[in-house]
Structure 1
């Protein structure tokens, strides 16, 4: 079995810790005005809204609060509204706690919450993208994020794809592994691949994609 086929229960928590150590100091260094900037990857949301969604989602994981409809658009909007009176730094405090404490809970859940960690990592990329920071959808957590993405797409029987990544030594195989469908092909950098699977803007980026439409790759849509 490959690493993409065997679940590493500690991987989601490790990804969150890596991102915590990079993202939280960045957020604490930004002025309040930056939290009001629109998040291009999440239409209708500001940077603060993205962070409030992330912090509330992790708090739900840590506290095992999963009522009916949790993580739906309506639930996400309610979570954000509940934090409307918080300061930006209170939102960052909650996010830091969640990124620190959610890993063991996700590990014990057997895989059903692994996608939460990947979503948090992607949203951190959304924030970096708004700020014009290097490493959006990349950075130290990228290898773990790619391993998690490969396993999630396999488990979802997603469209098979062979990715030749400019910035990685080995090709990455994603999606259904049955061999019944000829794999699509991606050539480009890993951050762009993440953008495609997360349904993020990719206009103007240099990559090749054959055998599948970009919209078919989105695992969050």
Structure 2
């Protein structure tokens, strides 16, 4: 099973999501930014503040130890509490635009951050009742990043048969004496499972592993 890194994938994912998400955000009514998301305790505005802060930290090289731990994330969000919404969106757009080359130049440790940004865009869409949560044009880039992240996070080997995709996606790592788990469903639901997002109203089959074993964000 190949784990060759494509360093350009995170940037492609971020730029694709920038072009899809920013026009949507700039057209939302103000009350949407106060809606609660799947991220415990965080509103849409706070998720976006976290996303912009994380990406601009990468762009600016401010990656001190513990920078992406929950306490540091909360501090970044609190720092932006009184920013005008336009400033939060401008920072987010800058991060989506400029972080890709920095991530590409690294060793792959930050690839999962780009995937997480895309998942958070899904959190925002879902909270605001907009279509395309955990789906859309970025899926082409998100799935190989997910597969690589699943191996780096040492999740069980899983063969995913995805709706509308002819070839199965192979995720995770083989373990002696344990057969590969199997998933049948759509790509958005697979993303939800690995990212720990709500599965209400989804339809899928999973055998040989539990949803908890497949989490890449803990």
* TM-score by shorter chain over 0.5: yes
Which of 42, 59, 64 is the matching residue for 2:61?
A: 64
**Aligned residues of 2:15 and 2:97 also touching (Cα < 8 A):** yes
- Cα deviations by residue, 1:165-212 (Å, 9 ceiling, x for unpaired): 113221111001466531111111010000000000002311011111
- Cα deviations by residue, 1:62-113 (Å, 9 ceiling, x for unpaired): 0111123211111011000100111111101000000000000000012011
Which of 145, 168, 181 is the matching residue for 2:165?
A: 168
**Aligned residues of 2:150 and 2:214 also touching (Cα < 8 A):** no
After TM superposition, the score normalised by the length of structure 1 is 0.95
Q: Aligned partners of 1:23, 1:167: CA distance in 2, in Å? A: 24
Q: What is the match of residue 8 of structure 2?
A: 10
Q: Aligned partners of 1:178, 1:104: CA distance in 2, in Å? A: 35
**Aligned residues of 2:122 and 2:132 also touching (Cα < 8 A):** yes
Name stretches of at least 5 consecutive residues in structure 1 with no aligned partner.
Answer: none
Pairs aligned (count): 218
**Partner-residue secondary structure (3-state), 1:164:** strand
Listed as ranges, the matches of 1:149-188 within 5 Å are 149-177=146-174, 180-188=177-185
After TM superposition, the score normalised by the length of structure 2 is 0.96
Q: Aligned partners of 1:203, 1:31: CA distance in 2, in Å? A: 26
Give the root-mean-square deviation of aligned CA atoms. Answer: 1.3
**Partner-residue secondary structure (3-state), 1:163:** strand
Q: Aligned partners of 2:166, 2:188: CA distance in 1, in Å? A: 15
**Partner-residue secondary structure (3-state), 1:54:** helix
Matched, 1:117 2:117: no
Q: What is the match of residue 34 of structure 2?
A: 36
Matched, 1:97 2:94: yes
**Aligned residues of 2:52 and 2:91 also touching (Cα < 8 A):** yes
Q: Aligned partners of 1:137, 1:35: CA distance in 2, in Å? A: 19
Listed as ranges, the matches of 1:186-201 within 5 Å are 186-201=183-198
